[in-house]
Structure 1
Amino acid sequence: GECHMGPDHPQIEEYIESKHGNIFKAKGKNWDMGYSTTNHEQIPIEVPVCTTCHMDGNKTQPMTHNVSARLATESQAPWSFRTVWDQEHLGDWKKKRERMEEICASCHAPDFYKMYFLNADLVNLQYDEIRRAFVHWTTKLTKNGTIKRLKYDGKYWSSPVLNGWDELPEHNMYYAWHHEGRRFRMGAEMMAADFTQWHGIWEVQEDLTELIKWAAEHGDAEAKKIVNTNDPRKFITFALYDVPGTEWGIAAKTNTTPFVYQAFPDYWDRIYKNVETVYKRGLISEDQWQLWLKRYKNKEHYLGLKYANSPQVDSTWNFYKKRNDIDFKAMKEQVIDLVLPGKNFYNNK
């Protein structure tokens, strides 16, 4: 596309990373892309391309040139929110999501795409909570004069909650929205795990950590307290959303080790209240709330906790642990313990 690439909205890169994009790169050159959906009940190619999901029709959905018709969330904006764009003609966000799900149903079962959308929607809501932390700091630091707003001819040219660029907190806040924050959200919507994780949430949280360190260096008492503690909870200065398990399966050992599960005995109670709140606010649908509740009420199963000490689970875990131990031993013997005879060129040691 003309705009959907690059660090701030990398849809084409995310598509290529996704399973859909993998298959398209491998086989797409052999497909007839000149088809018309008016001549097919089912999509006549093996995986969707951009137009398939956003413009093409199927046996239940007509073709459209209005790409807003199937988008339920404004995930490019400074805050993620349910779209109201042209809703007088297109309907509310639930109607738009319904259209998209009917396209997904051309290839996928409801159990898969409904859970996938629930996870993506909670990622968008999670972004909002992290952004709320950014707004807290930049508003506070601007109000007390630590951050100086750009000003010319009696007019301000920067916003404490949007941009500024000449001081690190403003720079970090902008990138956490416009670049990393978009990648975090859009990656979750497009099955691009690296963009969600390493190009997204990792960099967003790094921006927030650097902002707090900057505030501490400039005398903020609250920031100093966070920076100076060795308590790992300092990296979670915002509310969380979560779903018991994943849409990919049950991983018992994976869900017995995360720090947050161990550090907060009331972890899932907190998550419940957060998800219930956004449900009551209309930010997730009744169907999504019931889907989340099903997971919550059966979390021992979906998290795999009830299987954590079973022979089958432990045997698989132990098999790969032994493999990793062999790898580490080889790494240690080959390079970690390697001592070269030549001295270094700085201090001859």
Structure 2
Amino acid sequence: MSQQPDAMPTHPTDEQTPVRRPDAPRICVMATTPWLTVTVEAPTTQPVRDDGSVVEQHPEVHVHPGGQGLWVARMAESLGADAVVCGPFGGEAGIALRALAEAEGMELRGVAYKGGNGVYVHDRREGDREAVAERPAAPLDRHELDDLYGTVLVESLEADVTVLTGADPAHVLPAEVLSRLVGDLRAADRTLVADLSGDAARAYVEAGGGVLKISHEEMADGGFADGDDVPALVTGARALLDAGAEGGTRAVVVSRAGDGVLVVTRDRVHDVVAPETTVADHRGAGDSMTAGIAVGLARGLDLVEAVRLGAAAGALNVTRHGLGTGHRDHIERFAARVEVRDLGQDGRTSGDA
């Protein structure tokens, strides 16, 4: 995939079709609701004529394939993995999405989609994102859900790690469908990482999914935690672990914006803290973290080291304007500076690890 998503790549020829690398970890990503994203930015240059007058400037307009699943896949590829994206593509937005994603080098397993993908137009000329127009994704009908289910299931059998991402809006993926999929993937002994919230997160852990990544805001909003302090988040994460099928959910990874990441297992809590960085765009940090965790596990790292890699990917991504982008060398070197503290069993005892 391109490291520079703002560049306009050419559409790949048959010779440019992604080729699987035998030595690369393979990540299957379920992208339930890919979005076509249009972002208007202020000009980055100010041309001046010979007489000193300023040339009339026009805004920059960037059109990209986006949405949680595609951002996860983009970062996984940046970290040296081969990612295959399973998702619905349909309507005018779907045609553009597929062309743009394939131009980046993404390997897609598309499901036909009558309703059509979501589109948003955001204006960032003043610095913050202002929504100009948004059209959400249409619901998937039962045949489309069946096709997406089967596609993810089969592709996961050839992947080292499967990443399940949520739907936006949430009702596009019924919790019952997610539960069945997790059960089948678990029966096939697949390694699962999920970035979910609300009913989808609850369905995932109850079905015995492997690692759940969730933010502290989503813990509170979903009723999983009574507060956003460490004890409350640890208590909530442990309750989620206890709700899961026996031998299923391995850990809950709670991101806390600039306050580090809690890795909660049944017998231990670790706090993973990346060096502070200046934020250019906070969006995409969580998806980059999820990708880093998945790639780390696919490489054979233990969970805490995989989260260390994910924390580095997320921290560096916020310094960039391209969501889910980064350079492998930068991220891996930055990961060496990510601090890991063992907080003991209850999250109250600190120490360096």
| Highest RCO, 1 vs 2 (Cα 8 Å, sep ≥ 6) | 2
Q: Higher strand share goes to which structure?
A: 2
TM-score by length of 2: 0.23
Greater CA radius of gyration, 1 or 2?
1
TM-score by length of 1: 0.23
